[in-house]
Structure 1
Amino acid sequence: MSHVERKAEGGRIVAAAFAVLAWLVKFIGVVLVIATVSFVIVRAAPGDPAQVMAGQTGAADEQMLAQLRQEYGLDKPYLIQLAGHLKRVLTVDLGYSYRQQRPVLSLLAERMPATLLLTGTAFLLALIAGIVLGTLAGVRAGRWSDTLLSVVALLLYAMPVFWLGLMLVLLFSVQLDWLPAFGYATIGVDMPPLRRALDILSHLALPALSLSAVYLAIYTRLMRSSVIEVMHQDFIKTARAKGLTRGRIIAKHILRNAILPVVTVAGMQAGALVGGAVVVETVFAWPGLGRLTYDAVLQRDYPVLLGIFLVMSVLVIIINLLTDAIYRAIDPRVTTRARS
């Protein structure tokens, strides 16, 4: 390697290091802004955690309330509480749960796998099915199959998540007795690993279907429109003129270009899946962050709510980064345009 090449390589390494440093600074800034906004919103909500805790013990007198406020720092000035919260965020200390009497970080770590399993399964199901069904509808636009898929997508989009979940429970659990209605796994039964995994999957089926329905409808409609648009491009006409088979044109040319808008929208909406999980986890008694959020709201457990908001926000940031990486993998021209 010549001196000029070594110098150029060193310059690229320094530029990459500065880019990573700049990203970390932006990431920390975004996290602090999110932590501040969530603190203001949570504290603006009506209700007093001290009164909730005192009411549960049956001793809601003024002395008990004052003692609880002092013990959990609720008697300190607003700005001091905010500063303490931001300090804990920077040190990855999310505080202590009023209700659970446990560190929030360990509580979230315990509930996180169930939520990631539910939202990840629902996301993949909605994305894969939406791409496949949207492609089928797009290449057969105007035919009866396209009309049928469009009507089904519209119906799924119009159904409330909680109503669809209850209907699935009535059909597959009550009437047909095929799938369990509630919970994460069968309790009190010792199973081998493979049977335990199948048991969890059977409990996962209905919540994942309920959570993915709306997004499946969105991706199907978006993919259909994108496929129809790409099919009228000049390079598709050129591919047909070259004598390429219909399957090759769809797989190599239409699908690769039409999928880009779907990936973009899916990346932006992936974080919303965690918010939708609150309703689904409550309906199906799924022990994840969504159910924990519902319980924390009822119990006015501020540290748990703030921790959940922060973790969800970080997940959204990570998902957006993964979306950018996938986008560049599908279409390398994005990287070229960004550099130019």
Structure 2
Amino acid sequence: MKEYLAKRLLYSFVTLFAVATILFLMFRIMPGDPTAQVISPALDEAARARMREAFGLDLPMWKQYLIYLKNLVTLEWGRSFTTSEKVFDILVYRLWNTLLLMSAGMVLTFALGITLGMVMAWRRNGALDFGGTLVALVFQSAPPFITGLLLLMALSYKLDLFPTGGMSSPGVRFDTFWGFVFSGDFLHHLVLPTITITAYFLATPMLIMRDSMLEILGSDFIEYAKAKGLSPARVMVRHAARNALLAVVTVSSILLGFAIGGQVIVESVFSWPGMGLLMVEAAASHDYPVAQGAFLMLAALVVFLNILADLSYAWLDPRIKVGRGA
């Protein structure tokens, strides 16, 4: 297990190094002047040269790259071109907001998907099986921004049941982070974006759980468990569902990666101040240090979630031994 974990960490480091290098090159070959936000064209040439020197833009590309790698390791990611705040501080604040929304959406997605998939397989070819599959595929076919806009139109603008955007009402303040997270005001703002995320991603874990359960329910050990006189609920949950979960875990890392990318759309629709909305704002204002840091931090989050998904195999199935030669 330790050897496998060391290899995964090494692969993850190489992946992040490659992503960081691509970001460095991409933001320097893009058209336009990335310093236009901080170096005014109205300045004389000498003042502009001093500004470029202050940002290290007068150095050769290879020196800029070495400084860039050093700053990544030391978490000195520069300052925003538009607000002059430290990029790392901005990203940490926005990352927490994204994690709150994504956690709520994905926890509900997997909880509903696994439960419904289990029941649909147990009562296959019934009304719940056909109806659940149809509804899930319809919502998966609709882009998140369509679902989000329809929810806003129906439940916010027409019925005035939920806020139209943001994380909290204007003027509301909380003393602690957890006081904010568990407040009614925050949870009220969380409902619509969470439903949007769940509606779009629900079909994947639900249908995979259903198909995996159907395959396992025909196995010999399931028939043996029934012959022992175990209750149907225990056979379904204790024996069938636990083995079927491996298939869901297989796609969970991919699904989480898509969910992180989808946050850009959901956060834009609901004005949620997270990493996705930050990337849109940074790209629109040509704030390249913030956009570059946001891309890198989201890549690190995806890599970390992939590691967690891989390690969860051993916990779900004791027969899986991760070690030398595995």
Instruction: Output the TM-score relative to the length of structure 1.
Output: 0.85
Q: Equivalent of 1:236, from 196, 199, 222? A: 222
Provide the alpha-carbon RMSD of the alignment: 2.7
After superposition, residues 80-229 of structure 1 pair within 5 angstroms as 80-189=63-172, 193=179, 197-229=183-215
**Partner deviation per Cα, 1:140-161 (whole Å, 9 max, x = no partner):** 2212221100100111110101
Q: CA deviation at 1:26?
A: 4.5
After superposition, residues 319-330 of structure 1 pair within 5 angstroms as 319-330=305-316
Q: CA deviation at 1:319?
A: 1.4
Q: Equivalent of 1:31, from 6, 9, 16? A: 16
Q: Which residue of 1 aligns with 2:238?
A: 252
Q: CA deviation at 1:338?
A: 6.3
Q: Cα distance 1:46–1:137, how it changes in 2: closer, same or farther (>3 A)?
A: farther
Amino acid at match of 1:310: L
User: Relative to structure 2, which stretch is displaced further, 290-299 or 70-79?
Assistant: 70-79
Amino acid at match of 2:84: Q
Q: Please state whether the residue corresponding to 1:50 is helix, strand or coil.
A: coil
1:112–1:289 Cα contact (<8 Å) kept: yes
**Aligned pairs, number:** 323
Tell me which structure has the larger Cα radius of gyration. Answer: 1
Q: CA deviation at 1:277?
A: 0.7
Aligned equivalents of 2:202 and 2:136: distance in 1? 7
Aligned equivalents of 1:61 and 1:126: distance in 2? 56
2:101–2:193 Cα contact (<8 Å) kept: yes
1:119–1:273 Cα contact (<8 Å) kept: yes
- Residue 294 (str. 1) matches residue 280 (str. 2): yes
Q: CA deviation at 1:196?
A: 6.9
**Larger RCO of the pair (alpha carbons < 8 Å, separation 6+):** 2
2:144–2:196 Cα contact (<8 Å) kept: yes
Q: Please state whether the residue corresponding to 1:49 is helix, strand or coil.
A: coil
Q: Cα distance 1:130–1:185, how it changes in 2: closer, same or farther (>3 A)?
A: same
Amino acid at match of 1:257: N
Q: Which residue of 2 aligns with 1:4?
A: none
2:256–2:305 Cα contact (<8 Å) kept: yes
2:102–2:263 Cα contact (<8 Å) kept: yes
2:8–2:307 Cα contact (<8 Å) kept: no
For structure 1, the residue ranges without an aligned partner over 5 or more in a row are 1-14
2:148–2:193 Cα contact (<8 Å) kept: yes
Q: CA deviation at 1:85?
A: 1.2
2:249–2:313 Cα contact (<8 Å) kept: yes
Q: Percent identity?
A: 35
**Partner deviation per Cα, 1:156-190 (whole Å, 9 max, x = no partner):** 11010111101011111112211111111011135
Amino acid at match of 2:28: R
Q: Which residue of 2 aligns with 1:48?
A: 33
Q: Which residue of 2 aligns with 1:78?
A: 61
User: Relative to structure 2, which stretch is displaced further, 189-198 or 136-145?
Assistant: 189-198
Amino acid at match of 1:102: E
Amino acid at match of 2:165: F
**Partner deviation per Cα, 1:287-309 (whole Å, 9 max, x = no partner):** 11111111111122221122112
Q: Cα distance 1:19–1:141, how it changes in 2: closer, same or farther (>3 A)?
A: closer
For structure 2, the residue ranges without an aligned partner over 5 or more in a row are none
Q: CA deviation at 1:126?
A: 0.7
Amino acid at match of 1:229: E
Q: CA deviation at 1:244?
A: 2.1
Aligned equivalents of 1:110 and 1:235: distance in 2? 49
User: Relative to structure 2, which stretch is displaced further, 152-161 or 106-115?
Assistant: 106-115
Instruction: Output the TM-score relative to the length of structure 2.
Output: 0.89
Q: Return the structure number with greater helix share.
A: 1
**Partner deviation per Cα, 1:278-331 (whole Å, 9 max, x = no partner):** 111111111111111111111222211221122112212221222233222111
Aligned equivalents of 1:268 and 1:275: distance in 2? 11
Aligned equivalents of 1:112 and 1:183: distance in 2? 15
1:118–1:207 Cα contact (<8 Å) kept: yes
